[in-house]
Structure formats: C-alpha cells, structure tokens
Amino acid sequence: MAAIYGIPAAANYHTTPTHPTSKQRGYRLCDRCGSVEQPSMRFRLCGGCMVTQYCSQECQKMHWPTHKPICQHTSHQISSSKQQLMGVGINEDIVKGLRKFTSAHATLLGWSGFQALQLKRMPSNVRQHALLIELAYRPSTDSLRRFSIKSTHVVPRTYVTDNDPLVGEDIRRREDRCRKSGGIGTAVIVIQCGEISQVMPVEVDSPSRISWDSREDWTEVLRHFVDSGRTDFKPISTTARGIVYG
C-alpha cells in the first residue's frame, strides 16, 4: 500500500479553561512545548512533512533532532507515493487533496474517532483499536468537495503500527506525552482513498474531563459535514431538540 503518513499535532481534547493558561479542547498544540495556538499567534508548519506544528522557530529548531527521523520518513513516503501513483495513472491531486482534507477536517475527524472508539465509555479502546475512514474521490473545482465518505471501520491499531514501525514509534511517543499530562493516550484515525492513506494521531484527555455525549449518529454527522464541504464543525451535545449540527 502506498501511504502518506502525516502526523498532525492537533485536535487534543481538553476541558474548558478555568484560567488563561489552561489548554482548550480542540486547539492545536506545539509539538515541542505543548503551548496552545491562539488566534493572535498562528503556528508554523514544518516545511519538510508539512504537518507537524510549532509555536515558534525556536521550538522548531530545538525539536529537530527528535522530529528529524519521522519528518524525513514522511517526506520520503510522500515523494515515493507520488512517483508510484503517477506510474500507475493515479491522479496526483488525490495525494495533495488527502492532506488538505485531513487538515481542513481535523476537529471533525478527531471527534469521529472519539465516538467510533467509544472512548467515553471504554477508554482502554484507545490502545487497541483505530478508526479507518475510506474516502471516494470525485473531481471538483471546489477543493472541499473532492472527497465523500465511502465507509468507516473500526480496525485493530496494529493495522497502522505494524505496517510502519517508525510511525508506530511516533504514535507511542505522543501517547507517553499525553499520559504524563493526565490523558488516556493517542487515538489513531486512518484516512484512506484507494491506495493512499494518511495517519492522524489524536492525543485524548481523560473522558471524565470531556463534556461530549456519546453519539450513535457520528457517521451521519461526519457525512453531513464532508458532503456539504463544511469545515466549521464544533462538537455539540444532543439537546432536547435532537441532533444539532455546528
């Protein structure tokens, strides 16, 4: 399987802050220091893998010795995938589009993983299972409507960790960091379109500190936002009025 293994340091789930320095649910975190992205301070992407994020150039430089192996590995995967896919006639737009899709829908995908793995009720699932989201590609002038949800599956986490040991090692590193800060571990979401896939690890806080309800209709919500090309998803609990889309 040709694969693009992007590792975005995003969509960590935390409680609503009680003071200005508290981390907030759904915000992007610097992969080195863990600081929270603010509207007034946009994070920078690593120019190599184009997915790992930093709050400053200083953090990026200090983190490079740690990030270098997975960064070079990811860049190599992307380059190799493009060459292989072009050789068999697969549109390069799918490769680029999949990365943009994952970035644009990061919060929605992370929430879907939380629901699919039933982490509110069974936190231990984070260590055993992963969510696989299969996409169908449809050419469109609207970049937000080039993919639709084909199917979703809960698969063994080894589907990812055994397929690429270096990616598995990076996931474990994030998991250790998450648990040290009181979280339950790293949920793994795999976004796949044909022979191309991207891995999205999401560090998850303790379910007792997350106010989201368990939602049986998470697949319908996922399809609703993806099919409509909306990227403004915000987790909302079920109300007396029924399902509420953000």
Is 9 contained in some domain? Answer: no
- Domain span holding position 45: 26-88
Asked if 38 and 117 sit in the same domain, the reply is no
Is 1 contained in some domain? Answer: no
Asked if 59 and 136 sit in the same domain, the reply is no
Asked if 63 and 101 sit in the same domain, the reply is no
175: Cβ–Cβ under 8 A, 6 or more apart, which residues? Answer: 185, 186, 203
Asked if 82 and 132 sit in the same domain, the reply is no
Asked if 132 and 105 sit in the same domain, the reply is yes
Asked if 47 and 128 sit in the same domain, the reply is no
Rounded CA-CA distance 144/159 in Å is 28
The half-sphere exposure of 77 on its side-chain side, counting CA atoms within 13 A, is 26
Total structural domains in the chain? 2
Q: Please list the pLDDT of the chain residue by residue as tens digits (246 residues).
A: 333 333 333 333 333 333 333 443 345 678 888 787 777 777 887 877 766 888 999 999 999 998 888 888 777 666 665 555 455 445 677 877 888 898 889 889 999 999 999 998 999 999 999 999 999 998 888 888 999 999 999 999 998 888 888 888 888 888 888 888 888 999 999 999 987 888 888 888 887 777 778 889 999 999 999 999 999 898 865 433 333 333
Rounded CA-CA distance 15/26 in Å is 9
Asked if 139 and 97 sit in the same domain, the reply is yes
CA distance from start to end of the chain: 35
